[in-house]
A and B are shown apart, each in its own frame.
Chain A
Amino acid sequence: MNLEKVVFGFFVLLAATLNFGYVLGDIDNPKLHNVYELYAAVVVNIIATILKFGDRTQIGAVHLATSLVASIQLIVAALVWIWARHVDPGGLTGQHMSSVVSIAAGAFLANVVSIILLVVETVSYRRR
């Protein structure tokens, strides 16, 4: 067992599940999208990205790329949320919420790719 793989697999999966949990529910209903879930998804995604730093394998590079995409999208979603909640005088409307959730849904797609890569890597792993 490789502790590095465990930690990385844990974070990638956690990132995807948190992301999924946040996206789940009516897209424009703020009550169904808890901000803490978004927050946790951002944090875990950033950690998953950092964990791929310095990996020189081909699959590691693609991992880094997908994690970066997911992190950036989630950060953008968080920024939109901050804008709607604190800056926009109209407050957090359903329209705002739907764009936050749809951006987060995009990040979820990247996370799914990340998981596919993880599975591919695991399946093709051979002890030499």
Chain B
Amino acid sequence: MANLLQLLGRGKPARPRPDSLRRYRVDVPAELPTTDAVFMVLRRMRAPLVVLVSVFAIMTFGLSTMPGTEENPDRLTVFDSFYVISYTGLTIGYGEVPHEFSYAQRLWVTLTIYAAVVAWSYSIGALLSLSQEQTFRQAIRLQRFGRKVRSIQNPFVLVVGYGQAGEAVCRALEDQGRDFVILDEDPERVQQLALDGYSSDHPGFAASGRDPRMLGLAGLGHDHCEAVLALTDSDETNLSVVMSVNLLRPELMVIARCSDREHAQQMHDFAADVIINPFDRYGAYLVMALRRPAGFRLASWLMSKRGSVLPHRLHHLTEGQWVVCADGTFGFEVTRDLESAGLDVILLDPADGRPDVSDAVGFIAGAESDIVNMANAAHARIENDQLFIAVRQNSATNAAPLQAFDADSVFIPTELLAREAVARITSPNYWSFIDHVLHEDDEWDRRVMDEIVAVVGDETPISTRLDLDFTGAPAVVRWLTEHELTLGDLVRDPDERDVRLAVYPAVLVRAGRRIFTPGMDQTLKEGDTLLLLGREVDLAVIRSTIFHDAAVEYVATGREVATSWVMRRVQKLAGRPKDPAPRAPVPPPDDEG
């Protein structure tokens, strides 16, 4: 019999994954040896506590042996003495109880006051010096971080490396209302996390992602961890993260940044889901913008931030001679992409002075210094007004002057990285749609873009996934057992069925096969999964439709059905017309005229 405990909800079920190199299952290590701050306190406080207890013990004993006054010749009992010493030692006393003290007793109490003060100040001093200690504070921070991560209740993404790319990804994740955990070697960047103004508090810790134990502490073994992003600027660290995930939690999605082909190959060996080399990608996008402008526009629109408007077409992007002025791997990668697309490319080193662009149609300023890039771009514009100018922006600090310069294309490696990473994390179906857009021909892309814009408007749509199964859409499933429901019906407004919601069905997954941009007359089946793009409000309407039998029946047939059980019975008894009043067939509102 199956273990019943395994049936209890424990986050996302593990995806079986044949390409993991794991042979034995090993638990993700999470505890570091220095984690226990409490133990450190106890260990350090041994001596001060022993001193305190001894002082109190001796003083109590002494007081109980001191002779009393003539009126009360009895000595204080042990309990009375303990009582007196307790308040005297802790607060310097308030009078003589149970009766006036003799001089011997007073002498002893005086002694007690000084001894107690010394013992207290020693203990408090020890505690304070402990709290100042670096190792202790580190232990406290680590413990707090681990506790915070363990208490996460929602699916989250583990982001290793909080540089520019990491920050861009986190912004986008926050935009989607997702949780994330940060790991970065630089303590200042982690502190920056608190100041960056996220709407909720995200756990972050300064440690290297190379340590699998740190990864474990940051949530690698957590049931709710759904993806790991390795975005540090060191390829080797990223590779080590990919390895750890592949061997310890192979079912998780890994996205890694990489700027070196050799490391990329090694990451492939460890089955990284996605390896993004922004330099390489930029060239590919540039070529795409040149050869297939509609596909480029649609893809970059779908990948842009929530609320961005449709990007403009790139102007004066034409075939001809291209000049790339770049150093390092960027120049090499871009030149290679442009050349493989059949363009005539000249690669120059920025150290050789101002590039000559008189005969060129395109210029890419790709040096590692933003200042050099701006200077070269400005020079190119002066020399040739009709030139397509692309500028690489390395640091966010120069965003404003670059915006004022208004280059035809600004390449921000980190942003490109973030966009792709987030699009892939959003959902596998969403990325598959973008991927499809990237590979379809331009005619198809243009048509789909027009369709989406006609339905949704020109702001970036939001995506949602509908599972037409019994838990995700009970009303639809019940309806489908006896009747038919088309996609066109599903996107009707359940208040007024002639109105189409601002929702565009992008992908229909049926029995593992993806149908892109399914038609409005497509009938739905139980078990289908839909990827819808649209406005947030309208998506929420659809998400509620599929739970209400009355709403589903109304959008499918136009019959008004009572929502309450009693009224439905009454309606049934009253005899509902078998066929709805004949209505004019509603034309799909997305029909482009």
Contact = CB atoms under 8 A, between A and B. Distances in A.
Interface of A: 35-36, 39-40, 43, 46-47, 50-51, 53-56, 81-82, 85-86
Contacts of A53: 42-43, 45-46, 49
Given A36-B78, A39-B60, A82-B79, A56 B39 contact: yes
B50 interface: yes
Nearest to B48: A50
A82 B40 CA distance: 36
- In the complex, which of the residues A36, A50, A81 has the most CB atoms of chain B within 10 Å of its own CB atom? A50
A86 B81 CA distance: 13
A46 to B, nearest CB: 6
Contact of B50 (A36, A50, A54): A50
Interface of B: 36, 39-46, 49-50, 53-54, 57, 60-61, 64, 77-79
A50 B53 contact: yes
Contacts of A47: 50, 53-54
B376 to A, nearest CB: 62
A35 B78 contact: yes
- In the complex, which of the residues B41, B45, B46 has the most CB atoms of chain A within 10 Å of its own CB atom? B46
Given A39-B60, A47-B53, A85 B77 contact: yes
A120 to B, nearest CB: 22
A54 B61 contact: no
Given A36-B61, A56-B39, A50 B79 contact: no
A47 to B, nearest CB: 5
Contacts of A43: 53-54, 57
Contacts, number: 44
B95 to A, nearest CB: 19
Given A36-B78, A46-B53, A55-B43, 7 more contacts: A39-B78, A51-B50, A53-B45, A54-B43, A56-B39, A86-B77, A86-B79
A51 to B, nearest CB: 6
A16 B390 CA distance: 84
Given A53-B45, A56-B39, A39 B61 contact: yes
B60 A54 contact: no
Contacts of A39: 57, 60-61, 78
28 contacts: A35-B77, A35-B78, A39-B57, A39-B60, A40-B61, A43-B53, A43-B54, A46-B53, A47-B50, A47-B53, A47-B54, A50-B50, A50-B53, A53-B42, A53-B43, A53-B45, A53-B46, A53-B49, A54-B39, A54-B40, A54-B41, A54-B46, A55-B43, A56-B36, A81-B79, A82-B79, A85-B77, A86-B79
B79 to A, nearest CB: 5
